[in-house]
Amino acid sequence: MPTAPTASSSSSGGGGAVERCVGDAAAFVRDHWATAPLLRRGAGCRSASQACPDGFDDLLSLDGVDRFLSTSPRTPAFRLVKDGQPLPPASYTKSGRIGSQPLADLADAGKVYDHFHAGATIVLQGLHRWWPPLTAFCRDLELFLTHPVQVNAYLTPPASRGLGVHHDTHDVFVLQVHGRKLWQVWDAAVPFPLPHQRKLPPGAEAPAGPPLVDAELAPGDCLYVPRGFRHAARTAETASLHLTVGISTRNWNEVLREVVELATEEAWFREGLPVGFADDPAALAASLAERVAELRRFLDKVDLDRVAEGAARRFWAGRAPLLGGQLQQLLALDELDDATVVRRRQGAVCRLEVRGDRLTLLLGDRELAMPARLEPAVRTLLAADGVTVGDLAGLLDAPSRLVLVRRLVREGLLEGMPEPADGA
């Protein structure tokens, strides 16, 4: 009989990012998540001072946006929107070359700023993929929420309104970085909307009654808006830069569909409808009742633990390693010895599964198999904030511990820590 796998999630916890946004994470989950907006003043401040001019500028600053646009980025890494409508990319891009490859979608910084001066909002898209501070911030949120997270930035000129009253099909954290923006949030237009419900019938978005939130966000303020809640924003006399952190929540509809999908392996599920079914709906209804009863019997036998583990595994499999500084780590591999201090990379995902004599490490978008006897050594490496390779001496001989640690560094799970400066 095969040995049942045992699994443990070693995902490095997360929580710092969500606590920065909302304060008490447990209270946020209990009182606000998916049910009520939350405004937290000074969330981005990194000091006890009441004034918070720097806000969230450790994640992205106005100067960072300026420097990014000056490098002639390509669409769709950025776009321009005015009066709620996207501007044609040809009006703010130019042609150029990278090597011998011709390009036609490079940012023309002069035109971009002309449009901005004329009232257009500059949108930087998918920042979690290419801006290191936000990559780390979003990964920390993901490790706490276990839902995918992405982030865009919006630089809006003074006295401008973006979209009118609308709702999103995902939860968002709004992080005010620079300037001020006026936000209003009303109750949900559609509880837990699906993506196709982004556009509602005319008049459906019209808010009734006073807003739940009516506030001007200053640098460092954070506003949480659950999906489906109607909202609108506009700048006052100053330009505004804010981050919209979107949480693409997986819902029960998706998981339950996966459960029903298992029935497609049954022959009766794939049988065609009878000839002439459209001429006799009553007979079809009777046959349908029989098939629904068959489906109920099938669902009673489904291994729900396996379905749940599969859903969790797909989430972890989508969290690729964060490999900033990996080149230097690889070049230093040959210098690694028993005195080297290593630690788990910030944001690294590692889920351990033991099946018989095999240990599998799920490292985001890759898997690593090794003998199960290495499990205690791997757990030692993951649990400590910093451990020398020699600390594994009671678990592995010298050649084996070097091979293990070097492999985990190559896979992006561990990193060597710099030696302390003299006198430190």
350 closest CA partner among 412, 273, 423, 405? 412
> For residue range 298-334, what is the model confidence (pLDDT) as tens digits?
999 999 999 999 999 999 999 999 999 999 999 999 9
**DSSP code per residue over 1-32:** -PPPPEEEEE-----HHHHHHHS-HHHHHHHT
- Portion of the chain with pLDDT greater than 70, in percent: 90
In this prediction, residue 386 carries a pLDDT of 92
- Buried b / exposed e over 228-262, threshold 16 CB at 10 Å, is bbbbbbebeeebbbbbbbbbebeeeeeeeeeeeeb
pLDDT, average across residues 94-115: 95
d(CA 375, CA 373): 6
Residue 422 tokens, joined: 């003299």
Residue 295 tokens, joined: 């489906």
CA 383 to chain centre: 24
Centre a 10 Å sphere on the Cβ of residue 91 and count the other Cβ atoms it contains. 13
End-to-end Cα spacing for the chain:
56
pTM of the predicted protein model: 0.88
Q: Is residue 47 scored above 60 in pLDDT?
A: no
The overall longest dimension of the chain from CA atoms, in Å, is 90
> For residue range 327-378, what is the model confidence (pLDDT) as tens digits?
999 999 999 999 999 999 999 999 999 999 999 999 998 999 999 999 999 9
> For residue range 221-261, what is the model confidence (pLDDT) as tens digits?
999 999 999 999 998 888 999 999 999 999 999 999 999 99
pLDDT bucket at 9, cuts 50 / 70 / 90: very low
Residue 269 DSSP one-character state: G
Place of tokens 């339950």: 256
Centre a 10 Å sphere on the Cβ of residue 101 and count the other Cβ atoms it contains. 7
Q: What are phi and psi of 121, to 5 degrees?
A: -90, 135
Place of tokens 């609308």: 166
- Buried b / exposed e over 301-332, threshold 16 CB at 10 Å, is eeeeeebeeeeeeeebbebebbebeeeebeee
pLDDT bucket at 8, cuts 50 / 70 / 90: very low
> For residue range 73-98, what is the model confidence (pLDDT) as tens digits?
999 999 999 988 899 999 999 999 99
pLDDT bucket at 197, cuts 50 / 70 / 90: low
d(CA 79, CA 90): 11
